[in-house]
Amino acid sequence: MRRVITTLAILLVVVVAGMTALVLLVNPNDFRTYMVQQVEQRSGYQLEVSGGLRWHVWPQLSILAGRMSLTAPGASQPMVTAENMRLDVNLWPLLSHQLSVSQVMLKNAVIRVTPDSAAQKPSGSPVAPTDAEPVVTRTNGWSFDIAKLRLADSLLIWQQPGGDEYNFRNLNLSLDQDASKTASIELATRISRNQRNVSVNLKGQMNVAQYPHRLVGQIEEMDYTLDGANLPPQGIKGALSGQGEWNADKQQFALQKMQLTANDSTLDGSAEGRLMLPQQLNLALHATTLNLDNLMASAPASDNSTPQHASVTRTPVIAEPRTRTNADSPLNLMDLTLSLNADSSVWRGLTLSNLQIDASNQEGLMTLNKLQGKIGDGHFSIPGSIDIRQPATKVALQPEIENIAIAPLMKALELPESLQGTVSLKGDLSGTGLSVDEAKRNWQGNAELEATNLQLAQLNLQQMVRRAVARVSNSVTNDEPDDQGIQQLSGRISLNQGKVVMPDLQGGSSRLAVQTKGTVDVVNQQLDVTFNMMLRGWKGDAKLASLLNGQSIPLRMYGGWDNLQYSLPVDDVVRQQLQSEAKSRLNEWLDRQKPAVQQH
């Protein structure tokens, strides 16, 4: 045992002595010129290291440097700057005075991926046509030959030519590369923009054999959180995985076998696109569950859902938030296609099944080729277009709904749930704005409507007529059983700046005929509607029964929704009919008297 301990001690002394000798005999500044030359030969980039280089022995033999910068040929700004750089070196190559770097670590680095930091062509070089495909140049390109790379507390500035600048803060990156050019990546960063915050933690693998022209990799796990302006109060959080590819020469990306969760929504599919302007994005998605109410800030609060809070560090707000307009939308700079199929989804409290969306966007002009699905036993289809290229969003829709329950639809549109039944509709609507409130105020159009099994909450129309007649006369009765509301009502309606006009809706049931006309003001929450009802089955006094069986009785409902008034003037109708009958009989008697007078 003593021999083992003695041997280990001797080895430790030899190692310490050897490292000390190397530190004393090898000056790290001798490698400065070598590093600069190697970087320039491999990539054309210019490496600058300020201050002297010094050794750091424990726990890893390293060379410490001060401020460094890496600049592309002809660029006006460096691609990488860092306050501190550490190069972990291998021990044995130093014996032959060779530098072998096993890991590069940068702290407080600033990485610029912007037009100012990109390599520039020499003056006088030929310029390709603007519509020509980019030429892939594989000679004298930058290659990634570092086994390990670490970035700590750094900043990534990313900007496309002509596009906005994005700052990825608190960037921490760990990248380990093996002999087959496969790198394992761990990344964490945060971005704040337009009062929105995004945090990302990513783990994956990447093949860098063709870097910088092409990258292929796999996202094993990416956790994200998102919150801020125009997002749900609880934020959005979830995870993403898939297989990705990046083509730097064409600025194109692709993500296959994608698995995405967002709050309680689950999607899978693929995404591909291009970052150069105009940007392109093609999405083909399938959703097992899609809760839109949990992903939109304007959605009504659900009675049953439990909010999932996204824990995101918020940046302090120094100034008042800027009012967002259509000009801020990224869709104005993007060509987008979307194909989405959702097995089950939720929108404004409505449970949808078999939702299908086929839509496209061309720099702000969105076309809904298909937007359809099922609600309960009913079906809906809403094709149309949305134009955000101007300050005011223009909407043109051609909705078709069939056999949709009215009460939950009224709730989704923030209208009183006082009407029950089902509705079918085919219309043509247009206006400005996308929110429910803007639709109420600014949309207009016409529609053919058919409603079935209508029931007014806490109102029985037949009983109201019977009681009103009983107050006028007890000589007639109506013992027919009540129908369950109005079996059918159809006609044309129109919408104009919040007012729904019903010029003439016809319908009824087997014992009740109804004609409806009037106006519903959904903005001011008022209505003035008249139901002209003809109730059949009156018995008793023959003349009065005959009168009531053939006469419509008006029920007028008017006033505010929270203080609704109604009038049912049965006595006026009966009195007028009796007066008309009496006048008619008087005229007949006078007509009979005229021949007798003429004879005398």
Let me know the angle formed at the C-alpha of 464 by 507 and 425, rounded to the nearest 5 degrees. Answer: 25
pLDDT beyond 70 at 429: yes
Task: Select from 540, 575, 579, 572 the least CA-distant residue to 554.
Answer: 572
HEC string for 457-493: CCCCHHHHHHHHHHHHCCCEECCCCCCCCEEEEEEEE
Number of residues written out for the chain: 600
> Minimum mean pLDDT among 6-15, 250-259, 278-287, 547-556: which range?
6-15
Look at 429 and 138; give whichever has higher pLDDT.
429
Question: pLDDT above 70 covers what percent of the chain?
Answer: 78
> Minimum mean pLDDT among 323-327, 540-544, 592-596: which range?
592-596
The pLDDT value given to residue 404: 94
pLDDT beyond 50 at 138: no
Cα 145–chain centre separation: 41
The pLDDT value given to residue 414: 86
* CB-based burial label for 563 (10 Å; 0-12, 13-18, 19+): exposed
CA distance 1 to 104: 40
Split at pLDDT 50, 70, 90, the class of 316 is very low
Cα 364–chain centre separation: 15
Amino acid in position 222: M
Model confidence over 159-210: pLDDT tens digits?
877 777 889 999 999 988 887 888 899 999 999 887 889 999 999 999 888 8
Phi, psi of 35 (to 5 degrees): -65, -45
The pLDDT value given to residue 401: 95
Q: How many CB atoms lie within 10 A of CB 140?
A: 11
Summarize the confidence of residues 257-274 as an average pLDDT.
94
Split at pLDDT 50, 70, 90, the class of 427 is very high
CA distance 13 to 262: 57
Beta strand 101-113 pairing with 80-89: antiparallel
Instruction: With H, G, I as helix, E, B as strand and everything else as coil, classify residue 312.
Output: coil
The pLDDT value given to residue 314: 44
CA distance 159 to 276: 10
> Minimum mean pLDDT among 46-50, 119-123, 411-415, 562-566: which range?
119-123
Let me know the angle formed at the C-alpha of 407 by 401 and 409, rounded to the nearest 5 degrees. Answer: 45
DSSP state of 26: -
Tell me what the pLDDT averaged over the chain comes to.
Answer: 81
Cβ(363)–Cβ(335) under 8 Å?
Answer: yes
Helix, strand, coil abundance in the chain, percent, nearest 5:
20, 50, 30
Would you call the peptide bond into 59 cis, given omega within 30 degrees of 0 as the criterion? yes
The pLDDT value given to residue 584: 62
The pLDDT value given to residue 586: 54
The pLDDT value given to residue 297: 75
DSSP 418-447: -EEEEEEEEEEEEEE-SSHHHHHHH-EEEE
pLDDT beyond 80 at 293: yes
Model confidence over 466-510: pLDDT tens digits?
777 777 667 677 776 766 678 899 999 999 988 999 999 998 887
Instruction: With H, G, I as helix, E, B as strand and everything else as coil, classify residue 115.
Output: coil
Q: Please give the C-alpha separations between residue 441 and each of 432, 486, 495, in angstroms, as whole numbers.
A: 9, 30, 10
Q: How many CB atoms lie within 10 A of CB 320?
A: 6
What burial letters (b/e) apply to 95-112, b meaning 16+ CB within 10 Å?
eeeebebebbbbeebbbb
Model confidence over 86-135: pLDDT tens digits?
887 776 666 555 666 778 889 899 999 898 888 887 665 555 554 444 44
Model confidence over 521-538: pLDDT tens digits?
999 999 999 988 877 777
CA distance 489 to 349: 26
The pLDDT value given to residue 469: 74
